[in-house]
Structure 1
C-alpha cells in the first residue's frame, strides 16, 4: 500500500521532470532545422559508439525479467543487441534527412488585402507512457525533437535501466553537443507504475500525453487524463486481421501469414484469421500446416474467448492465432470493425472487386491488399519512427503518429502586401 507521503514524493519527482523539460522547451522551440537534425545524427553516432555499455545495461534488465518469469515474447520486445541498435541508428539518420515542413502555409490571399496562413507551433512539453521496449525511448524522443517539443518519458519498470542508459549516454549528450539543453528529454527515474498516473495529472506542465501499452491500464490512464484536462493519444489495443478471400492464391496466403508473425509481441501481428466460408475447408489444412511450422497454435471455433482477443498481450499463449470463417469480404470487414480494435486488417485475394469491397467496408486505421498488417508501423509505412499508433475514431492523427502530428495549428492573418511577415522559419 502506497502511503500518502510516498505518493506526494512520487508526484514531486514527476512534476520536477516536467518542470525541467518545460524550462528547456523554449530554446528547443527556437532551434533551427539544421540544429535539430544535427542532434538526431549525433544520437545515431552515440548509439553506435556506446553499444557495449547499452547492451550491458539491457542485459541487466533481461536478467531481471527472466528471473521474474517474463514471457519469451515480452523478453524479445525488451532485448537490445547490436543489430537492433544499428537499426535504431539507421532510423535516426533517415529521420534527420526528412525535410522539415514549412512553418507557415498560405491558405488564402483574401479580397480584403489580407492573407490567411496556417502556422505550426510546438505543444511545449509532451508526456509519453510506454511499454518495456527500449527502442521506443529513442523513437519517441526523436519524434519530440523533430517536432521541437520537450518530453517527459515514463517506461515500463522492466526497461528502466536500458531507458536510463539511452537517455544519459545518447539523448542528453547529443542535445548538449549541438547547443541544446539536455534537460529537454526527461525520463522518470522511478519504477512505480503510479508515476504514469501522475504524468496525466499535470495539464499546466504536460498538456498532451502519448499512451501506449496493454488495453485496460492504458484506457484507465486515458480516463484519468480526461478528468484532469490532459489530452491523450492512446495506443491501447492492437491485433491485425487477415481475411482470406475466395479467390486467394494459396502460396500468397502462406507467405503473408508467415510475414505477419515474424514477431509475436507487437500490436500489428496477425491475431485473427478469417477464411471465406466457400474455401474454408479447402484452405484450412494448409493454413494450419503453415502455423505449425512457425510454432503457432490455432484457436478454432467454437472459441472460448472473444474473436478479437489480443494474443500478444497473453503472457501464457502469445503464440496463438484465432481462426474463423467469414461469409464474404463485407462480412469479414464487419467482424473486424465490430470485434477488434480497428488497428489494421488485410485481404488476400486475386479478385479486385472482392478486395475493393473489403477495403471500402473496413473502418480501421490501416487496410492492406495482398500484404501484411505488419506494415502498419511508422518505420515500415511512413519511413519515420512513431510515437505510437492512434486508433481513436474521432478527428485527429490516426494510425502511426509521427513528428508531423505533434504540432498545434495557429491561424495567422497579415496584410498581403507584407510578405516578410508570412515567411516564418524555424
Structure 2
C-alpha cells in the first residue's frame, strides 16, 4: 500500500470510529453544531479569507482560467451567504427516523427505518465552499465523512475544517473526528478514496470531465457506490413562439457565472426564427462577454465550455427543426443535466417537459436554478444525473440514508 493510500485509510478509520457518536446525537445537538459552524464563519473570517487569498494567488500564478478562479474564490459576500445557508439548514426539520408502512398478515406491522450510511467520502476540486456544503449535509444526516480536495483549494479547505467545522462539532459534544479532510493534494488520494468499501461504502464525486468518470469506474470495480457528477452544461431551446426580448434577457441571466455546470452551454434555435433571432442573441451574449460557436461546428454539439479554460466564454448555437428535434438533441447529445424552453406557448412548454428526460427541465427560467439551495432551500452535496432509481438531481441530507424494513408485532390502538 502506498503512503497516500495509507493516509486516506487512516482518515477513513478515524471517521468510522467516531461515526457512532454522531449517529446517536440528538436533533438539537446536530442543529446546534451546524449553527455554530455559521457563527464560526464570522469569527474565523479573517483566517479563512487569508487562506483562500493564498490559494487564489497560487492558482493565478499557475494560469488557472477565469471561470475556475471564480469557483475557487471566497469573497466576504460569499462567506456571508455560506453562513446564511448553514443557519437555514440548521432550522430545517429532521425527517422522522421511522414510519409505519402497513400491517402484514399474522398481526405484524411493517415499519420503514432511516439509518445513516456510516462514512461517506467526497471528492471535489477547486471549490472550497463545497467543504462546508458537504460537511454540514453529512452532519445533518448523521454520517461521518472523508473529504478530499485538490491542491488549488487545499489551504481554504483546511482553514474551513480546522477553524469552522471541527470546533463547532467539539463545542456541542460531537467527536470532531467524524469529518476528516485528506491532508495531501496528491491525485492518488482521489483513487484511494473510492477503493475502501469496508470503510467508505459511498463516495460523492463532484467535478466534471474524464477524471470524475474514471473515479466512478474505479469505484464500481471495488464495490463502492458513487453519487457522481462528471458532466454538465445547460441547454436552452429558443422556440418559434419565443418573445425575443425576454429570450435575450434569459440568455444573459443564464450566463452570470461561466465556470459552473448549470450555466447556458448550448442554445438550440428553431429554424423558422433562426435568421431573425441570431443578431439579438449575439448582442445579448456580447453584453456578458460571451461569444457564439456557430454552425458548422468543429466540436460535439454538447461540448461543455465551462471545462475549457481557453474558451469558457462561449455558447454553442445550433439550428433545430422543431421542438421534438430540440428535445432529442438535449437528451442524446448532452449530459442530461438541465434543459429549458423559452416560449409564450404553454402547450409547447408542456410538450418539452414531456419529451426531455434529463435531471431538470425549465420553462422561461434559467437552468442556473438547478441547485440544491435555489430549488430545495438547503445546500447540496452534488447533482446526481443517474437515470436509475435513487436520488437524482440536487442531493441533500435527506438522501444520504439507508432504508431498512422492520417487522414487529402490530401495536394495539
TM-score, normalising length from structure 2? Answer: 0.99
* Structure 2 unaligned blocks of 5 or more: none
Q: Secondary structure at the match of 1:119?
A: strand
Answering whether residue 409 of structure 2 is matched by residue 408 of structure 1, we say: no
Aligned-pair CA distance for 1:417? 1.9
Choose which of 364, 368, 374 in structure 2 pairs with 1:374.
368
Tell me how far apart the structure 2 counterparts of residues 220 and 274 of structure 1 sit (CA, whole Å). 30
Answering whether residue 262 of structure 2 is matched by residue 268 of structure 1, we say: yes
Q: Specify the alignment match of 2:22 in structure 1.
A: 28
Structure 1 consecutive aligned stretches of length 4 or more whose deviation exceeds 4 Å: none
Aligned residues: 413
Choose which of 57, 70, 76 in structure 2 pairs with 1:82.
76
1:324-367 C-alpha deviation (Å, 9 max, x unpaired):
11111111010000100000000000111111111100000000
Q: Specify the alignment match of 1:424 in structure 2.
A: none
Q: Specify the alignment match of 1:338 in structure 2.
A: 332
Tell me how far apart the structure 2 counterparts of residues 111 and 395 of structure 1 sit (CA, whole Å). 29
1:220-266 C-alpha deviation (Å, 9 max, x unpaired):
11111111111111000000000011111112111211111000000
Aligned-pair CA distance for 1:181? 0.3
Q: Is the 8 A contact 2:208 2:232 kept in 1?
A: no
Q: Specify the alignment match of 1:11 in structure 2.
A: 5
Q: Is the 8 A contact 2:216 2:228 kept in 1?
A: yes
Tell me how far apart the structure 2 counterparts of residues 16 and 295 of structure 1 sit (CA, whole Å). 47
Answering whether residue 37 of structure 2 is matched by residue 43 of structure 1, we say: yes
Q: Please list, as runs of the form range in 1=range in 2, the aligned pairs for 1:60-209 lying within 5 A after superposition.
A: 60-209=54-203
Q: Specify the alignment match of 2:53 in structure 1.
A: 59
Aligned-pair CA distance for 1:49? 1.2
Tell me how far apart the structure 1 counterparts of residues 82 and 127 of structure 2 sit (CA, whole Å). 12
Tell me how far apart the structure 2 counterparts of residues 196 and 412 of structure 1 sit (CA, whole Å). 36
Q: Is the 8 A contact 2:372 2:396 kept in 1?
A: yes
Superposition RMSD in Å: 0.9
Aligned-pair CA distance for 1:111? 4.4
Q: Secondary structure at the match of 1:145?
A: helix
**Segment of structure 1 superposing worse, 68-77 or 109-118:** 109-118
Q: Specify the alignment match of 1:3 in structure 2.
A: none
Tell me how far apart the structure 1 counterparts of residues 71 and 105 of structure 2 sit (CA, whole Å). 57
Choose which of 231, 234, 247 in structure 2 pairs with 1:253.
247
Q: Please list, as runs of the form range in 1=range in 2, the aligned pairs for 1:258-407 lying within 5 A after superposition.
A: 258-407=252-401
TM-score, normalising length from structure 1? Answer: 0.96
Tell me how far apart the structure 1 counterparts of residues 99 and 259 of structure 2 sit (CA, whole Å). 40
Q: Secondary structure at the match of 2:2?
A: helix
* Structure 1 unaligned blocks of 5 or more: 1-6, 420-426
Tell me how far apart the structure 2 counterparts of residues 304 and 111 of structure 1 sit (CA, whole Å). 64
